[in-house]
Amino acid sequence: MTVKTPSLSAEWLIQELPALCRERPDLIHPLLHRLLSESKELSWYLVVRAYQERRINLGKAAELLGLRAGQLQLGALPYRGDETQQGPTDVTRLKKLLFWRPVVTVREGIRKTIEFERGARGNNP
């Protein structure tokens, strides 16, 4: 005897999935793991979404993607709205196109930063 698989709409399945996960995780978890292992795009999407919504940090994102945090290069994950992008700066284009020159040298900038930090701490190293 052949059992016919019912044709279920995606909307209905999505609606029922949370209850099924709660009641029969033994049925759902293996299928989800297989789906995620077969779709790298889906895995990345889920992790990036959780990271952007601050449900996980960068270290956890790297772990879930099977990487070390240091392997996630600058820009590998989209920045969160309130984050400042940091990284090495190349001012060659600014110099060339806008004739820009830095106000202080790197050496002078480091010296002033150290001076400022010492003053902010009350000369305590």
| pLDDT tens profile 28-55 | 889 888 888 888 888 888 888 888 888 8
Q: What are the pLDDT digits (tens) for 90-115?
A: 677 767 767 777 788 888 888 888 88
62 burial level (CB within 10 Å; 0-12, 13-18, 19+): buried
From CA 9, how far away is CA 22, in angstroms rounded?
Answer: 21
Q: Has residue 1 got a pLDDT over 80?
A: no
Report phi then psi at 25, rounded to 5: -60, -25
How confident is the model over 10-31, as a mean pLDDT? 89
pLDDT band at 26 (very low <50, low <70, confident <90, very high): very high
